[in-house]
Each structure stands twice: as structure tokens, then as C-alpha cells.
Amino acid sequence: MSRLACLDDRDALALVAGTLAAERLPDALAHVETCVDCRELIEGLCAGDEPPPPPSGIDARVGSEHGPYAITALIAAGGMGRVYRATDRVRGREVALKIPRSRSPWLVRRFEREIGITARLGHPGVVPLHDSGTLGDGTPFYVMQLVEGISLERAIGQAVNREQRLALVGHLVAVATTMAFVHDRGIAHRDLKPHNVLVGAFGEVVILDWGLAKELDATASVRRVLRVEPVAAPLPPITGRTTRPGDVLGTPAFMAPEQARGEDVDQRADVYALGAMLEQLLVGFLPRKAADAALALAPAALVSVSKRALAPERDDRHAHAGEFASELRAAVATPAAPPPAPSPWRRILGQS
């Protein structure tokens, strides 16, 4: 584990349970001492509330009915919640219904924040929220439009060559345009990556999973009021509790350096993620693992956009997603340089 890497859900659970490998423990504790987000995650897992029931104890399950919604299938299960396919029997439509993985007060608070942010982001690139409420056992839920399609991550994996990957850049333009709207409303996503972008069967491009989103204006002021201090000692193991996944606080390959260091982030952290997604489209590798030779084969205008967005210092990046989107659209419209003409000597030698 790098000293700069935020904890994922498995590492956080292992740290709280006292089962994290000894060789990884010093780096994990050193990071938690400096990272506000990871402390929030650890403190949530260490909260003294009653042990939450396992996911199977929640009322939502395939075949159950909740008001007008009849759950028909599990679509996805992540660290923070589960998404089900459901039938809205009143309106005669298929929808997606999301619930938290448990009724832990900490997790419920995060889930309710996600509902509030999603409800305010009325944009074609954000799946619209249709309804919200609580199940019979008090578990919160919200209902979204059901969008059929595949993740951008899967689309990249299915591309067999550079031309097919470059054909996906238009989807990234749509993502950046949506994020320009989001940034204009003072919100950062904080976990942008191809896995969280859904490409619909009819060309829809929507951004999913707003569980880590934060209001930028509120973040710094809240931390000043709370005067969050580093933890002074290793966290003791917790026994007699049902451990459960927390929330992945960013994904390292797409995470801006300041976010990995646990500093306050702004919209430029999302710009970094957009640049990382563009680089993956250009070379087919995970971001920041691309050889210069691979980038040299990509269109120079697109490479320039990705390099600026991936600048280690946030002041050197695009100021927000709107600026990134404008530059990306211009780069897409720039004609690619023609391949170099073959040497006449190669033709003479029959090697052209």
C-alpha cells in the first residue's frame, strides 16, 4: 500500500477489525492520520451504534413489494448499496431502486446525502431521481430511471484497436459536459471512472454513483468548524460486531494527487479523473501506466488535453470540467496529422 493511497473498503474493514497485514499497518495508520476522508470512514466503522443487520436482514429482496414497487432482480451490489430492478405498478414502468447495504446510522447518513445531491442534479447526464422513502423496516431507498446499457469500462474493454477506442471519446465529451453542469452547482463527484459511466443502448451517457459526492463550498467550512484533528493512536480492534463494506474513497488510478494525500479537493480533482479516463481511451492501459511510445501514436491534440488535465499541481490543470470539455471538443475537431510518407528507398527495396 502506498502511503499516499486512500483506504478501500477491504483495507478499512481490516484495519478496524485488527486483521490488516502487519507490513501494511504502518503505512495505513500514517495515511489515516493525515486524511480527513479516511478518518471519516474509519470513525464511521468504529461508531458505537448497535451492530447493523447483514444485508439479508433488510426488507428489500427479489420478490418483495414496497408500496407501488415490486422488486424483480438484483442489478448491482457495491460497498455502499445495492441496486435492484423493480416494477412501478402505478405508472407501469421499470425502474431502478437503490438501498444502503445496512441500516448503520453512519451509512444511512451518507446514503441520505447521496439522495439529496442526486435530486438536485437535474441533467440528462445524471440518472433522474423519481422517488424516495423508507421501506417497512425503516431502511431508506430511492428510485431512479432504469437505463439499459453497459459501463464505459466494459466498452473500452470490448474495443479491439485504437480506432474503436477513439470512437468512444464522444462519450467522454458527454461526461465532461455533465460534470461542467455539476461543477457549476458547486459539487464534486470524487470518484469519476469508466466503471461509473453508463453508456445506454440508444446513446445515452449517464454518470452513476454519487455516494462520494460533496458540496465544495460546504466542505472546508464544515472541517474548520469541527476542527478535525489527526488520530493520536492506532485504532483498537473491534470485536462482537458485524463488519461490512464501507465506501471506496476514490479509485487510485483515477485519483488526483491531492485527493490521495487526503487534502481538501475541488472540481480540479474531477478534472484529473477526466484526464485519466481520456488517457485510458488513447492507449488502452490503466491511466499513468502508459508508455510515452503508446501516447506518441495517439492524436497529438487529444494527448495535449490529457496531459494538462493530469498535471500533478491542480493549478496547472483545467479550472473546471467546462474548460476541459471545451478543449476536448476542439481537440476532437482537429484533423489528425497524416502518417509519414514512406521512404522512397523502402519502395525501391520493395519494403513499402
User: Do the two domains 55-145 and 149-234+242-333 of this chain adopt the same fold?
Assistant: no
* Residue 342 pLDDT: 56
* Residue 129 pLDDT: 94
* Residue 347 pLDDT: 53
Instruction: Note every long-range contact of 49-56, with CB atoms under 8 Å and residues 24 or more positions apart, other chains counting.
Output: 49/104, 49/105, 49/106, 51/240, 51/241, 51/242, 52/102, 52/103, 52/104, 52/107, 52/242, 52/244, 53/102, 53/103, 53/242, 54/102, 54/242, 54/244, 55/82, 55/101, 55/102
* Residue 183 pLDDT: 96
The whole-angstrom separation of Cα 199 and Cα 332 is: 19
* Residue 249 pLDDT: 47
How many Cβ atoms are within 10 Å of 331's Cβ, its own excluded? 19
> Helix (H, G, I), strand (E, B), or coil: what is residue 321?
helix
- 73 phi and psi, to 5 degrees? -165, 150
191 as an active site residue: the answer is yes
For the chain, give every domain's residue range.
9-45, 55-145, 149-234+242-333
* Residue 70 pLDDT: 95
H helix or E strand, kind and range, residue 295: helix 292-296
Encode burial over 85-112: b for 16+ CB neighbours within 10 A, e otherwise.
Answer: bbbbeeeeeebbbbbbbbbbebbbebbe
The whole-angstrom separation of Cα 9 and Cα 252 is: 13
Q: What's the pTM value of the predicted model, to 2 decimals?
A: 0.73
Mode of pairing for the β-strands spanning 187-188 and 149-151? unpaired
Which entry of 9, 11, 37, 191 is annotated as an active-site residue? 191
pLDDT in tens, the chain (352 residues): 444 467 766 677 677 666 777 777 777 777 776 776 676 666 555 543 333 444 445 778 888 999 999 999 999 887 678 999 999 999 999 999 999 988 878 788 889 989 999 999 999 999 999 999 999 888 999 999 998 899 999 999 999 999 999 999 999 999 999 999 999 999 999 999 999 999 998 889 999 989 888 888 744 333 333 333 333 333 333 222 222 233 334 567 899 999 888 788 899 999 999 999 999 999 888 766 656 778 888 999 999 999 999 999 999 999 999 999 999 999 999 876 665 555 565 555 555 4
Sign, CA dihedral 117-123-128-129, equals: positive
The whole-angstrom separation of Cα 26 and Cα 22 is: 8
* Residue 18 pLDDT: 64
In the CATH scheme, what is the homologous superfamily, with its name and number, of domain 55-145? Phosphorylase Kinase; domain 1 (3.30.200.20)
In the CATH scheme, what is the homologous superfamily, with its name and number, of domain 149-234+242-333? Transferase(Phosphotransferase) domain 1 (1.10.510.10)
* Residue 31 pLDDT: 77
DSSP string, 65-123: EETTEEEEEEEEE-SSEEEEEEEETTTTEEEEEEEESS--HHHHHHHHHHHHHHHH--S
How many Cβ atoms are within 10 Å of 51's Cβ, its own excluded? 13
